[in-house]
Structure 1
Amino acid sequence: MTLALSVWNGRIAPVFDVSERCLIFSGGLEGPLPEPDLFPSFDADDRARFLSGRGVTHLVCGALSREYEDALLDQGIEALSFAAGPVARILEALKAGTLEQELFSMPGCGCPRRRCRRRGQGNRLGPALRGTQ
């Protein structure tokens, strides 16, 4: 599995739709942070294809509009949206399997780490994404 984090200023970007950069973790969550990648445009389909082309299967991001969510789902990418916090703390929570805590939810979000729209039964990261088998 390959994970991407939408980032801004060392934190999860508050709104994915207008974020400019992401970190892509293709070799697990251990080791130094990868260099940020610049999104090719603000178009939903372009972003989804960009992430899919890099093998991304899961995206951790802040707020996410339906248009962008649909584009990601069409490319087979699961969005763990409405996350908030510094990148280092988010990575620790991912490794520990505790991202679903309210502490990592955007202010005012009534459904921490649960899928709010057509996304199914809940955002659970498997052991493979956390770097354990």
Structure 2
Amino acid sequence: MHVRSANAGKTEEGFRVRIAVPYWQHHISPVLDAAETLLIVDIENNKVVAQHTLHVTHEQPRALASALAHADVKLLICGALSKSFSSALNHAKIHSITQTRGNITEVISAYINKQLAQQRFLMPGCNERFK
């Protein structure tokens, strides 16, 4: 399990962060390694202020992590995450919240409202995400 603080990007004016969420058919992709589309979301003062789609073609872990870091992504919310992707994200200083499922809009809203720990956003077979 890879859970880290999501406080990256906190400023005196308020909370500002760019997150990436891999998705398929409006839901969180179950495995980052197979994801082809990521939603890049800018959140400022607890509101989505911009978003765009990033298409990837089964990038190597370090290449994708480098691209996300170059795009100033600070947090990745995803389902499963392989050790190689986890290592690449750590190297790129990108935090991750794993074992996440659900409708992408609801997940982003839950993250903003600090409700992502709810059971309905936890992948089946996972007992807990936050310790």
- Distance across 1 between alignment mates of 2:117 and 2:38: 21
The gaps in structure 2 that reach 5 residues or longer are 1-16
Distance in 2, matches of 1:92 and 1:43, equals 29
Contact kept in structure 1, 2:42 and 2:48, CA below 8 Å? no
Choose from 24, 42, 45 the match for 2:40: 24
1:86 maps to 103
* Residue 30 (structure 2) aligns with: 14
Ranges in structure 1 where 5+ consecutive residues have no aligned partner: 115-121, 123-133
What is the alpha-carbon distance in structure 2 between the residues aligned to residue 92 and residue 27 of structure 1? 10
Q: Which residue of 1 aligns with 2:113?
A: 96
1:57 partner letter: K
More strand by share: 2
SS of 2:96's equivalent in the other structure is: strand
Following the alignment from structure 1 to structure 2, what is the Cα–Cα distance between the partners of residues 48 and 30?
22
Normalising to structure 1: TM-score of the pair?
0.78
Q: TM-score, normalised by structure 2?
A: 0.79
Secondary structure at 2:52 match in 1? coil
Q: CA RMSD in A?
A: 1.6
Does 2:11 align with 1:4? no
Q: Does the 8 Å contact 2:43/2:49 carry over to 1?
A: no
Contact 1:40 1:46 in 2 (8 A): no
Corresponding residue number in structure 2 for 1:108: 125
Kindly report structure 1 stretches of 4+ aligned residues shifted beyond 3 Å: none
